[in-house]
Amino acid sequence: MAATSPLGAISAEVTALNDYAAVRYTNIAFLTFMVFDHIITFETEVAKIWTLQWRLPKVLFLVNRYVIPPMLIFDGYRLSMIFRNLCVALSQSGPHGTVETILIVRVLAICGHRKWVRNFLVTAFLCAMAAWITLSSKIMTKTTGSPGGILFPGCLYSAPKYFFAAWIPPVAFESTIILITLYYLSEYEWSHINLTLRVLARDSMIYFLIMFLVLLANLFIAKWGHDFLGSLLIAPSSVIACVAAARMMMNIREVGDVDIEPLPAIEFRTPATTTMGDGEV
């Protein structure tokens, strides 16, 4: 085997440093955006969310708002002194798991709380999470984390080449949710949908499409990105999930305060009929 020339070694180091800088500054930009969004929406959060009863949506909101972000910040910002045993591959399932649970509730509202849809979504979600955890566990056993030192501050991870496979389950689940939402939205006469349901459908579809594209990009970058670039969108996808979940829930709560005249039952093209009223999500 031919030895690597000094010039080639230097070129590889420069490339690695450039890739690291791209990942690091991308993470910092998204994390700064997350903190800024938290600050400007805090007043709305206090008024619209803190007054809710302690039920699943409120718990998921607070976990997504106050538990997940510190984990992301710890992993992404500069840490001048960091111990080796703290550099573990922190799970990315937290933000996606909580957001997907919130979205299941929203999709059920769009489809009229049909029992078979609920059972299907819950089963699909559990299967996706089980597959994600199984793949991630296998990958984590081959992943090592360590402080990067002065040149690469923060946590650096070395993962196996097949770690892109962990993104396949969430991409599949997002695709399923998009198709179900589009199908049921096509059953409505849009002009007869009340404002609450319009906001619900609008925010959900925007989130589904953005997250689907980001997760798909994660899959391809993890597969073909070299060295540090393989993790380019991992933290940003979690930030998008955190911010989007908070925004969607606050939007629907703000709409709930608007005085809306009740509308008659919404007729589907199928024989079944359901009534969609303004309710809390």
φ/ψ of residue 226, rounded to 5: -100, 145
- Rounded distance between C-alpha atoms, residue 4 and residue 16, angstroms: 16
Q: What is the pLDDT of residues 14-60, one digit of tens each?
A: 677 777 778 888 888 999 999 999 999 999 999 999 998 998 888 88
Tokens linked to 71: 């984990």
Give residue 277's pLDDT. 46
Measuring CA to CA, which residue among 62, 40, 31, 60 is closest to residue 237? Answer: 31
Distance from the Cα of residue 22 to its chain's centroid = 21
Q: What is the pLDDT of residues 124-143, one digit of tens each?
A: 989 988 888 888 778 777 76
Instruction: Give the domains, in start order, of the chain with CATH numbers.
Output: 16-253 (1.20.1070)
Find the mean pLDDT for residues 258-274.
42
Q: What is the pLDDT of residues 213-259, one digit of tens each?
A: 887 887 788 777 666 676 778 788 889 888 988 998 898 888 765 43
Find the mean pLDDT for residues 138-165.
65
Could you please report the per-residue DSSP string of the chain?
A: -PPPPHHHHHHHHHHHHHHHHHHHHHHHHHHHHHHHHHHHHHHHHHHHTTTS-SSHHHHHHHHHHHTHHHHHHHHHS--SS--GGG-----SHHHHHHHHHHHHHHHHHHTT--HHHHHHHHHHHHHHHHHHHHHHHHHHTT-EEEE-TTTS-SEEEE--GGGGGGGHHHHHHHHHHHHHHHHHHHTS-GGGS-HHHHHHHHHHHHHHHHHHHHHHHHHHHHHH--GGGGGTTHHHHHHHHHHHHHHHHHHHHHHHTS-----PPEEPSSS-EE-------
Q: What is the pLDDT of residues 174-198, one digit of tens each?
A: 888 888 888 877 776 666 667 777 7
Measuring CA to CA, which residue among 154, 30, 2, 10 is closest to residue 87? Answer: 154
